[in-house]
Amino acid sequence: MASPSTNLHFILFPLMAQGHMIPMVDIARILAQRGATVTIITTPVNAGRFKSVIDRASEAMLKIQVLVLPLATSEVGLPEGCENFDLLPSAAFSDNLFAAIDMLEEPAEKMLRGLSLAPSCIISDHGISWTTNVAKRLNIPRIIFFGPGCFTSLCINIAMNTNILDEIDSDFEYFVLPGLPDRIEITKPQASGWGKGKTEASFRRFERRQEAGKAAYGIVVNSFEELEPKYVEAFTKVKDKKVWCIGPVSLCNKSFQDTAERGNKAAVDGHDCLKWLDSRETRSVVYVCFGSLSHTSTDQAIELALGLELSNIPFIWFIKCTSEKLERWISEGGYEDRIKDRGLIVRGWAPQVLILSHQAIGGFITHCGWNSTLEAISAGIPMVTWSHFADQFLNERFIIDVLKIGVRIGAEIPVSYGKNDNCEVKVKRENIKTAVECLMNNSEEGNARRKMAKELGEMAKRAMEDGGSSHINMTSMIHDITQELGKNTKLVQDLA
């Protein structure tokens, strides 16, 4: 039920990556359910991905609109329509896309100044640092949206803002990350996958983000306090700012369509997935999906397929994109025939929240992206962790060492995202088989993981309900912005 109407107008700037856009759209819905007006500013291709969700929100009388700014892709050496990180030819083009995003500052400000209802607050992905300049010129507060949870954000802060990584010589030896409530061991490449980057442009971008972060009014996080209380407290202290945990934001999607189409149009009809899962026993199926940016090479995909087959455990596997070599191996090798009675392979985007919430799902093989991690937690599902890059190895440590609801598959070395099919096999079929069996068996450890995952799922749902911690935090954030605007207005009047 929507809260009483408010005059607040929130402007949301999501980064053009699925893992960042999806929770921002959910945040837009939550704010609108509280009576606020919300404007999402993005580019044409990205707007098309969540058009149906926004259209349904508007039909439900929620005050959400999407305004589109063209992205100058050709000017930075990108193909036309290459407006999202998952569309880049390779990770090497990241700097190009960021350069195009930086060119949006002036047209975005012009657009905001032309709105009939003046903006009250900007909520910007931390990766779009120029929004701090726009907020300053408009005399409104800017809130940063951090993609990961507080545990991972705190780890990143330690890794990027201390000399700890400079003191580590080896890329393979594990070391203890200092200043954390728990003992967390990680390697240097795993800890440095998010931050300064390897190019001059990425380093300058990192420095701009750091400065923009200092000027921010506060930080909004897609997490909930009961999940990581020690880390919410420590992260708030380190940043010396207000931190509002308002998630898991995926739980704001109540209808079948909103859940099935969250993020993009699914590769298969949601009902078809559910029909297949309906024929399976409760908690018997492993769901396999590696998100929007992680790419599995053909040889590694074949090894995964064989590992799943060896486990003899039912599975549903979403493959984002396949190669001719993989399709030929699947068809000519008779793989789908061999696993047809217990396995389902789907090519394309997965209606993930819908699948994870099905009673047949008992485990999740995940790349440990924060959205996937939190969606699994919300559904009470334990995980096999298979990290690839960025914050994923830190999220893995959170799943394994802090929450104790996962089994490591054994991936050690970060791999670049993008459409590179030359990567060697990192994880062998035997390791995949062992990890899946370990996750799904009825051992004492397996039952303990399932029990903890279920309890965390119940906590997540309570946090988002009226009176829950995340619901209260959203109320607090809206109140704080209202108060801040009042102070800004008074300051302007005093100066006049």
Measuring CA to CA, how many Å separate 48 from each of 5, 55, 453, 491? 28, 11, 35, 40
- For 11-45, give one letter per residue: b (16+ CB within 10 A) or e: bbbbbbbbbbbbbbbbbbbbbbbbbbbbbbbbbeb
Task: Give the residue among 199, 81, 190 at the shortest CA–CA distance from 413.
Answer: 190
What span, in angstroms and rounded, lies between the C-alpha atoms of 282 and 279? Answer: 9
Averaged pLDDT for residues 105-132: 97
Q: Over 70: is that where the pLDDT of 146 sits?
A: yes
Mean pLDDT across the chain, nearest whole number?
90
Q: Over 90: is that where the pLDDT of 3 sits?
A: no
Averaged pLDDT for residues 458-477: 97
Structure-model confidence comparison of residues 167 and 10, the more confident one:
10
Give CA 259 to chain center in angstroms. 16
- Note the pLDDT of residue 262: 60
Structure-model confidence comparison of residues 292 and 270, the more confident one:
292
Q: Which range is least confidently modeled, 96-105, 139-148, 206-215?
A: 206-215
What span, in angstroms and rounded, lies between the C-alpha atoms of 484 and 149? Answer: 25
Task: Give the residue among 16, 184, 203, 14 at the shortest CA–CA distance from 100.
Answer: 16
Q: Which pTM value belongs to this model? A: 0.93
- Note the pLDDT of residue 2: 42
Model confidence band, residue 4 (pLDDT cutoffs 50, 70, 90): very low
Q: Over 60: is that where the pLDDT of 419 sits?
A: no
What span, in angstroms and rounded, lies between the C-alpha atoms of 385 and 342? Answer: 22
Most confident by average pLDDT, 250-254, 299-303, 488-492: 299-303
In the chain, the domains with their CATH numbers are 9-246+466-495 (3.40.50.2000), 265-460 (3.40.50.2000)
What span, in angstroms and rounded, lies between the C-alpha atoms of 65 and 45? Answer: 16
- Note the pLDDT of residue 203: 85
Structure-model confidence comparison of residues 31 and 419, the more confident one:
31
Share of the chain above pLDDT 70, in %: 91
Per-residue model confidence as pLDDT tens digits over 284-327: 999 999 987 777 888 999 999 999 999 999 999 998 767 888 88
Averaged pLDDT for residues 159-177: 89
- Note the pLDDT of residue 389: 87
Give CA 417 to chain center in angstroms. 15
H or E, element range at 123: strand 121-125
- Note the pLDDT of residue 349: 75
Model confidence band, residue 126 (pLDDT cutoffs 50, 70, 90): very high
**Helices then strands, each counted (H, E), the chain:** 21, 15
Which residue type occupies 128?
A: I
